Amino acid sequence: MSMIFSSTAQSCKGYAFSSNKIFRACNDLPYLNSYLHWNYDSSSNKLQIAYRHTGITSSRWVSWAINPTSTGMAGSQALVAFQQTDGTMRAYTSPIISGDATQVHATSGANVQSMGTLNLLSGESSSTGGNDRIRKRNIHGVLNAVSWGILLPIGALIARYLKVFKSADPAWFYLHVSCQSIAYIVGVAGWGTGLKLGSESASIQYDAHRTIGIILFCLGTLQVFALLLRPKPDHKYRFYWNIYHHLVGYSVIILSIINIFKGFNILNPDKKWKNAYIGVIAALALNAVWFEGYTWYLVVKRKRSEIAGKMPGGMNGSNGVNGFGGRQHQGV
């Protein structure tokens, strides 16, 4: 295996190596200005490979890997070249073993799209493997952002603020349960795609993102089963159940938002998607602040009315309120 650097791009066909080495087959790779040259002897299973990369401007290193047994990174043989401090180049091979979490390049964009399969006999190549993985990662991100990151907070807002309005009872409860149930079902689907992605890329680990995801699944499942054990409103344990329900619920929302931003950092999509999610969360937060103030106003007003209603003569009647008593009224 060998690695060549060029200052200008040139198709692999007709390219002359300085060592006068001749390769019978070559392929223009679709990403990263890369070209692959090889000789393959099927009778002896001997393979000679030269990897050529052009247009390098900011990085001092480049690498390429081949895996003869699977489409994953684990088990592949990498060819790495880098420029030393004295300006000379050094190239070496390095195996990528299962469980190796070393990451030296971004795991999104062209670095993932460049992954593909190559038929050494026919010379045909395909990058569908990389595109398929990107599609799975995007599905994983969308499912989790919509469920854990948007529907769950909306369901919490419904439960906290709609129940203050007597006319919304019991509709708020069914809306809350429906919203959270849909969020949980979609969220479990997103969590499952994450597990699948992890199993397909044992050499790439996102420990914090994965751990938070598992915690969210456990807490979300616990909330679902806790709903089945919800005491009646007048039960002596209902107070403690409410504390548990609120504590776990708000913890799930906070962890979900944190993990979604970790997911954005991993996927590294266009900034517009991250900005769009920030806008949704900001809108929900502003609505929560407004509803919090308004519901407290309604609660305080209702309490005052109840207190005034218990006073002799009723509220705002002949006895009056706010210091204007019945005797003063009679004297007018």
- Looking at residue 163, what DSSP letter applies? G
Q: What is the pLDDT of residue 11?
A: 57
Q: What is the pLDDT of residue 150?
A: 95
Angle (CA) 156-158-162 rounded to 5° is 140
User: Which residues, other chains included, contact 234 with Cβ-Cβ below 8 Å and sequence gap of 6+?
Assistant: none
Residues, the chain: 332
Q: What is the pLDDT of residue 332?
A: 38
User: Which residues, other chains included, contact 86 with Cβ-Cβ below 8 Å and sequence gap of 6+?
Assistant: none
Mean pLDDT by 10 residues, the chain (332 residues): 47 64 73 75 80 67 73 71 78 68 54 66 58 79 94 92 83 92 94 86 75 94 89 90 92 95 85 93 94 86 78 52 42 40
Q: What is the pLDDT of residue 155?
A: 93
Q: What is the pLDDT of residue 309?
A: 72
Q: Distance (Å, rounded) from C-alpha 133 to C-alpha 129? A: 6
Q: What is the pLDDT of residue 49?
A: 78
* Whole-structure pTM value: 0.58
What one-letter code names the amino acid at 43? S
Given a contact cutoff of 8 angstroms between Cβ atoms, the answer to whether 85 and 95 are in contact is: no
